Each structure stands twice: as structure tokens, then as C-alpha cells.
Structure 1
């Protein structure tokens, strides 16, 4: 049976969190009765991430493991998972589940009500933040978002929240055109979506900061600024105007086995 929903989780050296994440995601899927698949994309982890996912796949067949050819970055992992997905609605979430999985229903509802893409936002309703970021992270995050809005013309309060859902056709188009493979992919996919005429709905979601987040606002922030220039160059040279396949058939996923 083709699933209605596909949930993609990028994972790199997540042995400390992936078991809890899958437990929560599966509990939510079964509680809501979603016809879903859960795709964990292992980005060349050097720990037990893949083994843990394989163990879950034996207990619940909706869990599937995809393994990247080495460490390629979050953007590559999300794209790899999305292009393997079979669901009518495809979403991705971070392994830390900073946005609780129950909040996915808010994204799904937005898509069912006509949006092509629904993006979670930490800033539309700040009262929904259960654990706030440290002040310095909030400062750098808001600065990056302001620069992104200025350079890219993106009218969203939060481009970086790792909690987004797509109608299948929109996902296939956007992620076939995506070029950035690391942290800066979020502005790119939103830029592509607007350029291709897709309707994007920003949805306030509950969110709690996880101190174990790996992003460095100085090092990775500078890299993401460089990637904004790369996006603009791609737009000028017509990369995002290229034709794509109307609908890519789901790529068979190899399930994990011990």
C-alpha cells in the first residue's frame, strides 16, 4: 500500500538520540492512525546510528534505512530521503525533535487545505517555544534570517526550522533542483519553490531548543552566507528554470537488516 505520509529524518552520528526519536515518531504515527513510512537517512555515521535504525525496522516495517555514500551533509540527506519517499505528503524533521512530532498534524492540515508546502515557524507565535535558545543563538539566528530575507526576498519569519512538509509534486520538483548539500539548503528550497510558483504556508509550531545542536552560528553562518550568493548565481544562470520530471517514481528503499 502506498503511504499517505512520508517522514524523513536526516541523521549523522545520532546514536544518542535516534532511538528516542523513532520511539516518539512511531508512537505518534500509530496514535493518529497515519498511513505512513519513516525514512531515516544515515549520513555516513561513524557510530551505531544505522544499527539502531535497522533494529527498529525489524520491529516495525514502516521504518526504513537509507544510507548516503559517505558524509554529504544535511541538505543532501534530506534530498536523498525526499526523493526516495512514496507518500502523497512528504515531510522532514530533525532527529532532536525540537518540534514535537504531534505538531506535524498542523503541517499536514495546511497542505490538505491547499498549501503546496507548509513550513514550521518558531517565531510566528513565540509563546509556543517551550525551551528558548540562549540569547547569543537567538541574536545570530535572527540576524541570519534578516539577511536571508534581504538577499533572497523570502517573506518568512523562520526559514531555518527543520520541520517542513510538501505535497509530493512540489517536493519532487524542488528537490530535483536543489544544489546545496549542507546547512544552507533551507533558503534554497524555499527560493526554488517561490520561483516555481508553489504556495507556501508558514505555520506556528511548538518548539524547544536542544543544547546538543551541532550548528555553529559563526562558522556555519559564514558558510551559509556564501551559499546565499551561490543561490543567487544559480538563479541568474537559469539553474532553477530547468525542466524536471513530472513525477519521479519512488526509488526502492533497502530496509535495514542485521
Structure 2
């Protein structure tokens, strides 16, 4: 049975033209079968590798595709927040352009929101999940999530999986308090959602690490500082 609520799919993009070319046709085909009404927003953030032009081509070719371009790179989280401001769907969903998470899980992700959850998030760290990634990245991920559990008292197993869906109304309620504009955006959303009692469902996924990653060492240090900043804001200020 198709999802009856209008769905907004957001694909954040920064200099990943090859993945963008592959991904949009796949998402269009899946959403035609999955939802009665949908839009796909390509949130493209000042790319210089041809992603801008490819996104524009898709927007011209398909009525369901919207190209949201910015001339200055302001961060992935900021791009998602911008996309929320123009989203028409009652369900807001985003995933990484490289499709590291198998799109077969999209049915479960959107179905959880239709079934009454405020947030549904893919998890690479549930026992049922099947992941392929380097040992180093595995250690970093588990270490990061352990810090979030211990310092921010989150009960979510995996905060940074780029495969999430929201009841749009619930997400808009959270956004005024969200400070981060880049990678920590995902974690801040989930932690703040727990603090106000929103219903969250974690979904086990099949996830495969891509050939490259846009998460740099500098981002990791910034996210560590962001954990402490969020603790201070929640518990002190």
C-alpha cells in the first residue's frame, strides 16, 4: 500500500556529481511505487564539480524534482534546514547521495512516520544491521556514539546515519533550537527530540561505506566540542 501523506525527499549534495547522476533516477522510480504524492529536493551547496548543472537538468526534466542551490557552502545541516523551509510534504525524509544505506529500507522509514512516530532513523549499530566499512571508521563511529550516550544521555544507538525521516510538523518544532549547521545537526536533532518526548524509531539497515567521505578530521574535533556545547545548553543555560 502506498504512503498517502505527501512526502518530501531531500538529497544533500556537495561535489558528488557521479553519485547524483545515479541516485535521482533510482529515487524517482522508487517513490513512484511508494507514495501517492512526493517531491524530491536536491539541496546542492555551492558545488564546483558539475553537480549544480546536473541538479538543474533533473529539475527541468521532472516536475517532482526541485533544485535548491546556494552560492556559498554553509554546511549540510544548514542545507537541510533550508530545505525544510520550502518542503510541502507532511513527511520529511533525507538520505546521503551516495546511497550508502540500501533504499529497500525506505518503506520502513516512511512507514514508521505514517504509523505515528515523529522521527525514524536508520541505525548501523543495531544487532540486525549489516554494515561494510573500514575498521577505523567503525571505531570512530562507536566511540562517538558512546560519548553521546554518556554525556548527553541519549538512548539512540546511532546518531549520524544519514537516513532519517520526520513528521514535518515535529521537525519544524525542533529547528528553532538547533545551533549546528553541519554534521552535528543529526545528533542535535535526535538529542533534543528525546528531551521533549518525541517518539523515535530506530530501523536496522544494510549500509556500505562509500569510496570517500566528506567527514574530515577537523569535523570530528568540531563534533566533540559540539557535544559539550549541547550539554551546556541543555543542562546549564
- For the aligned pair, the TM-score class normalised by the smaller chain equals over 0.9
Q: CA deviation at 1:235?
A: 2.1
User: Gaps (5+ residues) in structure 1?
Assistant: 239-258
TM-score (norm 2): 0.92
CA distance in 2, matches of 1:205, 1:90: 19
Matches within 5 A, 1:169-248: 169-216=169-216, 218-236=217-235
Secondary structure in 2 aligned to 1:17?
Answer: helix
Secondary structure in 1 aligned to 2:158?
Answer: coil
Q: CA deviation at 1:233?
A: 2.6
Matches within 5 A, 1:82-93: 82-93=84-95
CA distance in 2, matches of 1:207, 1:171: 25
1:158 equivalent in structure 2: 158
1:78 equivalent in structure 2: 80
CA distance in 1, matches of 2:129, 2:71: 41
Q: Which moved more, 1:140-149 or 1:93-102?
A: 93-102
Q: Which whole-Å deviations, capped at 9, do the CAs of 1:212-251 have from their partners, x for residues lacking one?
A: 22213x432211000111212332465xxxxxxxxxxxxx
1:62 equivalent in structure 2: 64
Report whether the alignment pairs 1:39 with 2:41. Answer: yes
User: Gaps (5+ residues) in structure 2?
Assistant: none
Q: Which whole-Å deviations, capped at 9, do the CAs of 1:191-213 have from their partners, x for residues lacking one?
A: 11112221111111221111222
Report whether the alignment pairs 1:140 with 2:112. Answer: no
Point out which structure has higher relative CO (alpha carbons under 8 A, 6+ apart): 1
Q: CA deviation at 1:64?
A: 0.2
2:168 equivalent in structure 1: 168
Q: Which whole-Å deviations, capped at 9, do the CAs of 1:50-85 have from their partners, x for residues lacking one?
A: 110111112211100112351011111111112221
Measured at CA, do residues 187 and 203 of structure 1 come closer, stay the same or move farther in structure 2, by a change above 3 Å?
Answer: same
Give runs of ≥4 in structure 1 deviating > 6 Å. Answer: none
TM-score (norm 1): 0.85
Aligned alpha-carbon RMSD (Å): 1.8
Matched residue count = 234
